[in-house]
Structure 1
Amino acid sequence: MVHRTLVTQLEAGGTGRFPVLAHMTYDADDPFAVTVVFSHDGRVLARWRLDRQMLADGIRRPVGEGDVRMRPQSTGQWEELRLEFFGDSHVDGERHHAVVLAWAPAVVSFLDETYEVVRPGHEEVSVDGFLAEVIAGG
């Protein structure tokens, strides 16, 4: 298992950015996913399961069309990964929307550690284990 905590920046409307922690975890038992728990002042703000390959691709180019979108963003001195999360709809029909910016080299370093556990293209999922979970849950 690989775990890393990054200090990221939550973009808060017109008020600028404020720091939040992103606790990133990779487990070889779920080789395609990275779990990220965002927290601030000891409170969990959100928990997302992200596709590991999508996270890697988002460092280099825009990816995602649904609830999660990522793209590289440069501020001139910083190379960042921009993560956009879309949630449930408001009463007015607009969706909840959050933007988190992470320092791209830290994300790349985390991904490199995950590749030491399971190399890209070598991910495997136990079909028997998956079927047992489905049957037990049904």
Structure 2
Amino acid sequence: MIPFVRKTLVMQFRAGATNRFPVLAHLGYDAEDPFAVTAVFSHDGRVLARWRLDREMLAAGLRGPVGVGDVRFRPVATGQWEELRMEFLGDARTDGGRHQAVVFAWAPAVAAFLRETREVVPPGRERVRVDDFLTQVLAGG
């Protein structure tokens, strides 16, 4: 069995009040980090952002609104087009607000990626190597 899943999808990115523009989203899942999905957004060969997302939160966002902190997901339907709206909040701005970016993904493509991750590690079968984790924490501190 292959212990990872990699997909590159075209998504739509919107920062602030700008119009949407296409970006590449490189999604990664590794059985060694079974609860997380890595998303790297790039445009014209430059990395715009890198986020580590909760796999189950991402799946829940396809069904309904989730998240109250820096990352929020919710489904959006416009006619027959189903999207996953991913909102990312960043650092504070000088006006008191926060930087914000919104990414729109074609929901069926994200669902297909998540199905592949579940073939690698089914929900409920995730394992965390506590000894390895503690060794890392103690070595860093």
TM-score of the superposed pair, with normalisation by structure 1 = 0.97
1:81 aligned onto 2:94? no
| SS at structure 2 position matched to 1:22 | strand
1:29 aligned onto 2:25? no
> CA deviation digits over 1:72-125, x for unaligned, max 9?
001113100000000000111110000000000000000000001000111110
Residue-pair matches, total: 138
Q: CA deviation at 1:135?
A: 1.1
Query: In structure 2, what is the Cα distance between the partners aligned to 1:12 and 1:127?
Result: 38
Paired AA for residue 9 in structure 1? Q
Question: C-alpha root-mean-square deviation of aligned residues, in Å?
Answer: 0.9
User: Counterpart of 1:52?
Assistant: 55
User: Counterpart of 1:135?
Assistant: 138
Question: Unaligned 5+ residue runs, structure 2?
Answer: none
Q: CA deviation at 1:16?
A: 2.3
Q: CA deviation at 1:12?
A: 4.2
Identity %: 71
| SS at structure 2 position matched to 1:38 | strand
User: Counterpart of 1:65?
Assistant: 68
Runs of 4+ in 1 over 3 A off after TM superposition: 12-15
User: Counterpart of 1:90?
Assistant: 93
| SS at structure 1 position matched to 2:87 | strand
